[in-house]
Structure 1
C-alpha cells in the first residue's frame, strides 16, 4: 500500500483532455498529439538539442585542431623516425585528449606527442572555465601540445646526457610550472640577456645554460626562440631526469628517465605550421645533448661539455634529495607505526573497561579526566 502511494505521489498529473479542445491537433490512427498540453517539455527538448549540438561541434573542432597540427608536422616526424606515428595517426582519449607515439631514432627511445585541448564538447565545463577565469585572474585555459622526448640512455650511468634539470620558460607559464612540476624545484630562476624578455631560465647551474645556449654551427637555440612568429606559442622547454611529482620514496634508476619536454600553446588550424621551426630545432637540441648527429662541437654530448665541478655538484644534489626522501619516508613510517600502536592500546583499554561494572567504569573515566587535566596544565606551564 505504501509503495502504491509513493508511485502515485511521483506520477505526473494526467493532462486535462476535454472533448471541446479546439487547438492544434495531430492524429494518426488511434494516436492523438495536442501541442498545447506540452509547455515545459519544449524547454527540456530545446536544452537537450543545444547540448547535443554543442557536443558534436566541440568534438569535431578539437579533433580538427589536433589533426591539423599533426599533419603539418608529420613530414618532419617521418624524416626523423622510422616509426613516426601509429598506423591510424592520432589516437583519441576522450574528446579533448589526443596522442601519438613515435620511435626509431638515434639517441631516443621514444617521443610522446600529447594534445590537451579545452573541453569544447562539454557545455558545463566550458561554462565553469569561463566563470572561474572571471573570478581568478591568473586562471588561464588553453589548448596545449607537449612533446616528450625520452632519451635511450638510462639513468644511473655516466653518459652523454647529464642527470640535470634545466628549462627555458615563458614568464606567464612559470608560476603554474612551479606548482605542478616538482623536478623544477631543483632549479634557480634567472634572466638571460640573450633570450627575449618574456622568457626566463630555470637551471641548476649556469654551466648548463651556457652550453645549451651557445651556437653549434648553424644551430642556435636562442635565435629560434627569438622569432616573433614562435613566441606566442612557446610555453616551456625543459631537460630533466626527475619525475614531475615528488615521490614518496627514492626511485630506482630504472624508474627514472632522462627527458626533453617541449610544451606549446596549440596554434589555430590556419596557423598550424607556425611551430614547425621550433620543433625542428628541438630535434637538433636532442643531438646536442646526446652527442649525436653532424653538428660541430657536440662530441661526447652535454655531459662531456660540463665542468667536472658541475658534474660533481649534480651528483651531490641528487644524493641529498634521495637522502631527504629516505628520511621523510622513514619518519612517515614511524608515525604510522606509532598511530597503529596507540590505536591498539586504546582498543585493548576500551575492551578491558567494557568488562567492568558501571561504578568501576565511572572511576576509570574520572581518573582519565584528571590525567588529561594534569597533562594539559603541564603544557601550559612549559610554555
Structure 2
C-alpha cells in the first residue's frame, strides 16, 4: 500500500526526483565506456575551430606548402579534401604516371614508324602489282578504290600487313605479306632478339617481304568456270631456287621441297648467292641474264627466289604429294634508299609465270631424275603408310584376342581358370625357348 502511495505521489509531484533504475549487470561495460573522440589526425592544430570549414582561398597553396603531416590535419567536411591531404600522399602516383606516359609514347611512336615503313613500301610496290593484275586488295572495295596505295594493304597484327592480287594470265593470284619489327613493344622485341641469340632454332627477327604466287598450270577452267579458251599455261614440275648462302641451311632444314635439291654455285651469280636445283638443265634455262642482273642489283637483301611444285612440310600421306606449283620471293624489307634496287627483281618475279610457260619444258632425259626422286618419295610414304596400317591391324587383333580371353575366363570356374592360366604360361615358355634356340 505504501508503494502505491509513493507512485501516485510521483505522478502528482513532477518535481520530485525519479527513482533510480535498477542497475543491469549486462550493460556494465557500456556504462563505463568513454565518450567518442575524433581520430588522432583530426587534432586542433589549426588556429580556431578546426572542425569547422575554413576559407577556401588558400586551398591549393595550402595543399602544396602545408607543413603538416598526417598528425595535426584539420578534421573538416568530407568534401574539403584540400584541407586534409598534401603532395606527400601521391608519391606512388608521381612514379606510376610518368612510366605510363613513357609506355604510351613508345607505343604510339613505334606504331607510327611501322606505318611510315608500310606506306613507303606500298607507294613503291603497289603500282607494280596494279600494272600486272586486274585487282589488287583484300576486298572489292579496296581493289576498286583509287585512293592512296597503302589502302590496298590490310593490317593483321600490329607489325604485319598483307595484300592480295588476282586477275592475270597464267597466274591465279599473288599474296604479299610484309613483317616489321615490334617497335610498339621494345621489351618483346629485345626478348625475341635474345632468344634468337641463345637458340639456333629460333630465327632472328627481321623485317621482310614474302610474296607467293599460285599459277594456273593449265587448270583455268577448273578454278574459273567462266574462263575462255586460251593458250596452255602448264609447264614441267620441278624445284629450283636462288638463295642467299646465309639462309641456305635453314631453308633446307625448314622446307621439304628444298631438301630434294642439290646445291651448286654458279659463276653467273654473286659470291653470296647459290643455286638449289634438281637438274642443271633447269638452271641453264631459268638463270637468264635479266634475272642475274636483277639479283645483282637487289644485293644481299634477297633471301630466296623459289620455284616449286612440292609441299613445304614433309608429307605423310600420298595425297599430300599432289603437285601444287607456286613461286615464292622472300627479301629483306627495303629502306627508302634501297627500294629502287629491289623493284626490278619484284617486277621480274611478277612476270615469271609467263617465262615458265614459255621456257620450262625440258627434255625427257632431264626430267628422268626429277621423276625418279618423286617416285622414291612416293615409295617411302607408301611404305610408311603400309607399316602404320599393319600396326593398326595388329593392335586391333591383339585387342580382339584379349577380349576373347577375358570372355572365356569369365565363363570358367576357379579350377578351370587355374588350368587355363597354367597352359598359357607353358605356351609362353615354349615360345621363349624356341626364340632362344633360333638365335643360337
With the length of structure 1 as denominator, give the TM-score of the two structures: 0.74
> Would the alpha carbon gap of residues 236 and 357 (structure 1) be closer, same or farther in structure 2, given more than 3 Å must change?
farther
1:29 to 51, 74, 79: 79
2:360 aligns with one of 302, 311, 314 = 302
Helix, strand or coil: the match of 2:152? coil
Equivalent residues in 2 for 1:225-240, closer than 5 Å: 225-227=295-297, 230-240=298-308
Q: Once structures 1 and 2 are overlaid, which stretch shifts more, 105-114 or 130-139? A: 130-139
Q: How many residues align?
A: 346
Query: Aligned-pair distance for 1:226?
Result: 1.7
Give the one of 266, 276, 292 matched to 1:222: 292
Question: Please, which of 209, 216, 221 is the counterpart of residue 283 of structure 2?
Answer: 209
Q: Does 1:322 align with 2:378?
A: yes
Deviations 1:185-236 (A, max 9, x none): 1100111111001011000010000011134xxxx21122122xx1131000
Q: Deviations over 1:327-376 (max 9, x none)?
A: 22232233344445556766887899999999x99x97xx98xx79x969
Cα distance change of structure 1 residues 350 and 56 upon mapping to structure 2, 3 Å threshold = farther
Matched, 1:164 2:228: no
Deviates more, 1:109-118 or 1:56-65: 56-65
**Inter-CA distance 277–349: structure 2 relative to 1 (3 Å threshold):** same
Name the CA distance, whole Å, in 2 between partners of 1:213 and 1:113: 24
Quick check: 1:140 aligned with 2:208?
A: no
Name the residue aligned to 1:294.
none
Shift of 1:319: 2.7
Q: Match for 1:126 among 189, 192, 201?
A: 189
1:117 to 177, 180, 185: 180
What SS does structure 1 have at the residue aligned with 2:384?
helix
RMSD, aligned CA: 4.2
Query: Residue 242 of structure 1: CA displacement?
Result: 1.0
**Which has the higher Rg, Structure 1 or Structure 2?**
2
Task: From the superposition, tell whether residues 226 and 34 of structure 1 become closer, same or farther in structure 2 (CA, over 3 Å).
Answer: same
Higher relative contact order (CA 8 A, sep 6+): 1
Relative to structure 1, is the Cα distance of residues 265 and 29 closer, same or farther in structure 2, using a 3 angstrom cutoff?
same
Structure 1: runs of 5+ lacking an equivalent: 1-15, 292-300
Partners of 1:33 and 1:244 in 2: CA distance: 67
- 1:171-186 matches, cutoff 5 A: 171-186=245-260
Contact 2:170–2:216 (8 Å) recurs in 1: yes
Cα distance change, pair 130–201 in 1 and its aligned pair in 2 (3 A)? same
Q: Contact 2:136–2:152 (CA<8 Å) still a contact in 1?
A: no
Cα distance, 1:338–1:276 mapped onto 2, change above 3 Å: same
Q: 1:328 to 1:74 in 2, by over 3 A?
A: same
1:16-52 residue CA offsets vs partner (Å, 9 max, x unmatched) = 99447527x9x99365766545656665555555444
Tell whether 2:156 aligns with 1:104: no
Aligned to 1:246: 314
The question of whether the paired residues in 2 share the 8 Å contact of 1:189 and 1:203 is answered with yes
- Once the two structures are overlaid, the 10-residue window that deviates more, 236-245 or 159-168, is 159-168
2:116 corresponds to 1:60:
no
Q: Distance in 2 between matches of 1:115 and 1:351?
A: 64
Please give the alpha-carbon distance, in whole angstroms, between the structure 1 residues aligned to 2:90 and 2:406. 64
**Unmatched segments (≥5 aa) in structure 2:** 1-38, 44-67, 143-150, 220-231
Q: Are residues 207 and 49 of structure 1, via their aligned partners in 2, closer, same or farther at CA, if it must alter by over 3 Å? A: same
d(CA) in 1 for partners of 2:108, 2:352: 40
TM-score with structure 2 setting the length: 0.65
Distance in 1 (CA, whole Å) between partners of 2:171 and 2:127 is: 18
Q: 1:64 offset after TM fit, Å? A: 2.7
- Equivalent-residue separation in structure 2 for 1:17 and 1:240 (angstroms): 82
CA distance in 2, matches of 1:127, 1:350: 61
Residue 194 in 1 paired to residue 268 in 2?
Answer: yes
| Cα distance in 2, alignment partners of residues 355 and 17 from structure 1 | 87
